[in-house]
Structure 1
Amino acid sequence: MQKYLLVRIWSLLLFILSYLPVMAQTTDTAAHKPPAVKKKTTVVNTAADTSRPKPRPVKIKKDTTHRIAAPRIKKDTAAVIAPPATADSTLNKKDSTVAAAPKVLPPSAFDLYMKKLAQENMFLKPGRPSYYDTNIMRPFADMDWLVYMVAGILLIVSIIRLLYLKYFTDLFRAFFNPTLSQRQLKDQLSQSPFPNFLFNVFFALSLGVYLYLVLYRQQVFPQAEPWLLIPGLVVLVTLVYGIKYVMLRFCGWLFGNAELADAYIFILYLINKVLGVLLVPFLVVIAFCEPQIAQTFLYISIFFIVLLIVYRYIRSYSLVRQYLSFSKLHFFLYLCAFEVAPVLILTKVLLNIWLTGNP
């Protein structure tokens, strides 16, 4: 029993002795603040106490307290060891701050101009006046086909001239020399039926396109389809002069003056062929120039058309006087009944269609 008691006392003493270094270290750190010098002595003491019996593995509080206290010692030592600031160090700090600041570039000429514009322009100010666009949005119309059509007309007249150069030359000689045309050139031109037919077709095509361009510039039928209106006008011109040709032939046969009818038909279609060639440059200008220029050339073309019609009547009057004796009143009535009245009736019908939409 006594032996057992002595063993317990001895184990208790060993346990107390093992905790003496830990208690000494905690009392030292609590009594003194951790300056750098004293911490070094404590580190030495801990190193010196290694000869003593080591604590059990469960007691790891010694290392943890030492590691937790270490950062505070470093901060304090850094505060103690830091040298006082000098004038050179402050200058170096100022230089570093100046160097780190971003460089401010001067304003460019574009920025100055935009600033001046914002100050002077009334539309860029906060209290600018408001304007409303009242223009009607026009639908896009693809007019590329007009280029090809006018180019095709130029190609046709150039091919006819190259293939039948003699006929082309005789045609204008007969136009400018009426006495020579009646005696010599009439038979030469009548003996070339195919060129005569080509020039008549070209006149109908040229006059039909001219009428379409006049209607287009004047906005008579703005919603009409060109691929329907242009062939319709060409067919209309063909029908008008075809019916006129048949009526003149019938009147010459009826009244026994077939030679006079042939002479008048020759003059009529001679003027038409010259008119078809004359309209070609006006087609180009009216189709592609600006509205003001196109309007001017439209009036010039109308003047030439009227001039050619008057010239045709003068030549017809001098021709008919060679075969028949009649008064000027009869000739005037003929012009009103067969030349002027159909044109006026056709114009009235077109205006009714344009204004009311009903024929």
Structure 2
Amino acid sequence: MLKHLIVIFLALIPVQLWAQTDSTPPPVTQPKPVIRKADSVKRVAPVAKPAADTIRRLADSAMVKPDSVKRGADTVVPVRQLTWQEDTLYQRLFRNAYLPIGKPGVFMISQQWVRESKDKLFYVLVGLLLILGFIRASFPKYFTYLFMLVRQTSFRQKQTREQLLQGRLPSLMMNILFLLVAGIFVSVVFTQKKITNIPFWYLVLYSILILAGVYLLKFLFLRFTGWVFRVSEAAETYIFIVFLVNKLMAVVLLPLVWLLAFSEGDFNVIVFTISTFIIVLLLLYRYILALAAVRNMVRVSPFHFFIYLCAVEILPVLLIYKVVFSKMGLSI
């Protein structure tokens, strides 16, 4: 029995020692401080939006800008510095063949474009048509005899000529119409072919005055020549033929002036060619008809008639043309 008590006592001694070692009190933990909500919230000042220049500087600084990259111990390979234009987003959005952004500007001097208005010319040509229509409506017989005389095979029939000579007023109006149409035709041709740099309406005025002066001098010269050489009838016949062909030329050229003034390109060239051909044909008709009529009254050879054409028809026009343009100091 005693042995059993000693064994139990010896077995309880280590348990008691372990209990004494683990019976140390736990560390005292201090309470956590209570943080109020008002102290944990901090006021943040509003951030201003960066300007466009600042954004661009930041973008430039964000790009890779190394000056060189080392390879090995001694080798230094330069690296090209990137710019903001070479960014992938920029290339996708703005790099276009029709938008040369980033390229140097092109310096170019250009003249101010002035719209060419032909309204005045349109209304002037409408006025010429009204004048022709007024003459045609007021003097219908004059137009009938005018074209009847052209279709006659012989000029010896004096009845039609006498009936035309009786119409002084329509003859004067048709002569004025010829001067206006011929002056505008010459001005349109000179302007389109760039023969002279005179303003258009000044050129129209000069052309009308030159034509009026040429035919007035021709009329006076023929009258004076017929009186001096006692061939007044032949001179009157030639004067009548000259102004007759001029009246026909005014009627024929008026629609061609419309087409020539308001056309361009190949059609303009065709109209100009047709107009030139008609003018040359009418002039040849006038000279042939005048030679046939005058030779019946005066003995004139074709050679002398050609000399007369050069001295009276062609030379005065060239002289007046040269004098007018040389006085104005303009080159043609």
Q: Smaller-chain TM-score range? A: 0.5 to 0.7
Pick aligned residue for 1:211 from 183, 186, 196: 186
For the Cα contact (< 8 Å) 1:206–1:279, is it kept in 2? yes
Structure 1 residue identity aligned to 2:169:
F
Alpha-carbon distance in structure 1 between the residues aligned to 2:102 and 2:263: 42
Pick aligned residue for 1:188 from 159, 163, 180: 163
Alpha-carbon distance in structure 2 between the residues aligned to 1:145 and 1:230: 12
Pick aligned residue for 2:127 from 141, 149, 152: 152
Pick aligned residue for 2:195 from 187, 197, 220: 220
Q: Confirm whether residue 253 of structure 1 aligns to residue 213 of structure 2.
A: no
Instruction: Compare CA radii of gyration and give the structure with the larger one.
Output: 1
- Measure how far apart 1:196 and its partner are: 1.0
Pick aligned residue for 2:137 from 151, 159, 162: 162
More off after superposition, 276-285 vs 298-307: 298-307
Alpha-carbon distance in structure 2 between the residues aligned to 1:147 and 1:217: 16
SS in 2 for 1:123: coil
Change in Cα spacing, 1:250 to 1:223, as seen in structure 2 (3 Å) is: closer
Structure 2 residue identity aligned to 1:199:
M
Alpha-carbon distance in structure 1 between the residues aligned to 2:133 and 2:159: 26
Q: What is the root-mean-square deviation in Å for CA atoms of aligned residues?
A: 3.4
Change in Cα spacing, 1:199 to 1:135, as seen in structure 2 (3 Å) is: same
Alpha-carbon distance in structure 2 between the residues aligned to 1:266 and 1:350: 29
Q: Confirm whether residue 295 of structure 1 aligns to residue 294 of structure 2.
A: no
Equivalences for residues 1-359 of structure 1 within 5 A = 122-124=97-99, 136-179=111-154, 182-224=157-199, 226=201, 228-349=202-323, 352=326, 356-357=329-330
Over residues 167-190 of structure 1, what are the superposed CA-to-partner deviations in whole Å (9 max), with x where a residue is unaligned? Answer: 112101112225157432101101
Gaps of 5+ in 1: 1-31, 34-68, 73-115
For the Cα contact (< 8 Å) 2:218–2:312, is it kept in 1? no
Alpha-carbon distance in structure 2 between the residues aligned to 1:125 and 1:229: 46
Higher helix share: 1
Over residues 70-100 of structure 1, what are the superposed CA-to-partner deviations in whole Å (9 max), with x where a residue is unaligned? Answer: x99xxxxxxxxxxxxxxxxxxxxxxxxxxxx
- Measure how far apart 1:194 and its partner are: 1.0
Alpha-carbon distance in structure 1 between the residues aligned to 2:327 and 2:262: 27
The equivalent residue for 2:70 is: none
For the Cα contact (< 8 Å) 1:199–1:273, is it kept in 2? yes
Q: Sequence identity, in percent?
A: 34
The equivalent residue for 2:68 is: none
Alpha-carbon distance in structure 1 between the residues aligned to 2:162 and 2:100: 82
For the Cα contact (< 8 Å) 2:259–2:268, is it kept in 1? yes
Over residues 172-231 of structure 1, what are the superposed CA-to-partner deviations in whole Å (9 max), with x where a residue is unaligned? Answer: 1112225157432101101111111111111111111112212221233435261x4323
Alpha-carbon distance in structure 2 between the residues aligned to 1:289 and 1:133: 32
Q: What TM-score, normalized by structure 1, do the two folds share?
A: 0.60
Structure 2 residue identity aligned to 1:357:
L
Alpha-carbon distance in structure 1 between the residues aligned to 2:121 and 2:93: 45
- Measure how far apart 1:328 and its partner are: 2.5
- Measure how far apart 1:242 and its partner are: 1.3
Alpha-carbon distance in structure 2 between the residues aligned to 1:296 and 1:129: 47
Change in Cα spacing, 1:335 to 1:124, as seen in structure 2 (3 Å) is: same
Gaps of 5+ in 2: 1-30, 39-91
Structure 1 residue identity aligned to 2:298:
L
Change in Cα spacing, 1:339 to 1:287, as seen in structure 2 (3 Å) is: same
Alpha-carbon distance in structure 2 between the residues aligned to 1:265 and 1:234: 20
For the Cα contact (< 8 Å) 1:170–1:185, is it kept in 2? yes
The equivalent residue for 1:9 is: none
SS in 1 for 2:250: helix
